[in-house]
């Protein structure tokens, strides 16, 4: 069985970055994101309500950052959210994940031991 996603105890990215994407991802245009959860930021892009200002917090984030969170529209989330991976997901470091976590006083996620380079003798 795989480990639970570190995102379930974080939510920092949802409370730090503007979540903007092409308006065609909205439900009224054939996409999945509910229209009432976005605000238009220019003629072709929308943002999740709450992320279009500072401090940011996506209106679909439930819970306390760093303690336990969940996305209330997880299956309907935008491509931006689907593509954002936690640091070390599939062995890839994500500096943006680290930056969001740091903004909330959270330590960066650690590289799994099996991905670390061996120490030379």
Mean pLDDT of 1-28: 90
Q: How confident is the model at residue 5 (pLDDT cuts 50, 70, 90)?
A: confident
- pTM of the full structure: 0.87
DSSP-assigned beta bridge partners for residue 70: 62
Which residues, in sequence order, are CB contacts of 90 under 8 Å at separation 6+?
A: none
Detail the DSSP E strand segments found in 1-121: 20-22, 38-40, 45-48, 61-64, 68-71
Summarised one tens digit per residue, pLDDT across range 23-54 is: 999 999 999 999 999 999 999 999 999 999 99
């Amino acid at each position: 069985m795989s480990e639970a996603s570190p995102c379930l105890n974080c939510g920092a990215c949802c409370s730090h970055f503007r979540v903007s994407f092409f308006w065609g991802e909205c439900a009224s245009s054939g996409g999945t994101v509910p229209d009432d959860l976005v605000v238009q930021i220019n003629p072709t892009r929308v943002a999740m309500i709450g992320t279009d200002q500072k401090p940011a917090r996506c209106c679909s984030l439930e819970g306390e950052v760093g303690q336990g969170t969940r996305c209330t529209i997880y299956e309907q989330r935008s491509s931006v959210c689907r593509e954002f991976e936690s640091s070390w997901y599939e062995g890839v470091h994500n500096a943006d994940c680290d930056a969001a976590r740091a903004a909330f006083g959270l330590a960066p996620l650690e590289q799994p031991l099996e991905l670390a380079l061996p120490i030379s003798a």
